[in-house]
Homo-oligomer: A and B are copies of this chain.
Amino acid sequence: MGRLGELEPVPRRSTVEIVSAELRAAILYGSLAPGTQLGEAELAARLGISRGPLREAMQRLVQEGLLHSEPHRGLFVVTLDHDDVEDVYRARLAVEREACRLVMARNRGEAVARLTEALEGLVTAARERDRVAMSDADQAFHQVLVSASGSPRLERMAQTLLVETRMCLNALQDTYPEPEELVEEHRRLVDAIADGAEDRLLLLIEEHMIDSVERLRPAP
């Protein structure tokens, strides 16, 4: 919310926006599994809209890379192979590394505050051994990190990449790090920011990505 009662534009969301967010969430939580074909008629009926707006929303996800289109055949949820997993984390590294640099340069205070809050969510989820909540909190943490950088473009890129990350995790649901380890990795990131230790932070974020992709390696 805009602080101090500032007048901000009312967030009037168009139908396309709502529907594309809906689809994105469905892909993120795996209720639209990789490889699934999206039948237009059925989906439109389930969403209570006609095919027109639905098709527009789907084109957004195509551009995002979450769907791929085979002309005259249909739209399918992308399936990520191991190379893609690597690629996702590599791209995330590029984005989040720059985000870290920005945060250190111009927004440390607020970042630490918001990240500490996000970290608490992760701690709670870890304590309860709730994998979905942990994924949610993990994603939220990184979203906050990039958001705190104040770069709209990095933020937009990160959003897509985080969805793809979740797809990886869903596909390989078994291998998920020890909750404590995951919490610690994130806590160290917050500490580094709080300490103003940029070099350490950059090393940590790189390690964090390498660890993540490593954990996903032995799977098929």
Contact = CB atoms under 8 A, between A and B. Distances in A.
A59 B16 contact: yes
A136 interface: no
Contacts of A153: 65, 87-88, 90-91, 161
A82 interface: no
Contacts of A12: 71
A154 B63 contact: no
A52 B71 CA distance: 16
Tell me the dominant secondary structure on chain A's binding face: helix
Interface in A170-201: none
Q: Assembly of this chain: how many copies?
A: 2
Question: Max chain B CB contacts within 10 Å: which of A14, A56, A64?
Answer: A56
Interface string A84-100: 10011011011101100
B57 A91 contact: no
Question: Max chain B CB contacts within 10 Å: which of A20, A62, A63, A161?
Answer: A63
A61 B152 CA distance: 16
A151 interface: yes
Nearest to A61: B63
A189 to B, nearest CB: 18
A52 B153 CA distance: 29
A196 to B, nearest CB: 20
7 contacts: A61-B63, A65-B156, A87-B153, A88-B153, A90-B98, A90-B151, A90-B154
Interface of A: 12-14, 16-17, 20, 52, 55-57, 59-65, 69, 71, 84, 87-88, 90-91, 93-95, 97-98, 102, 151-154, 156-157, 161
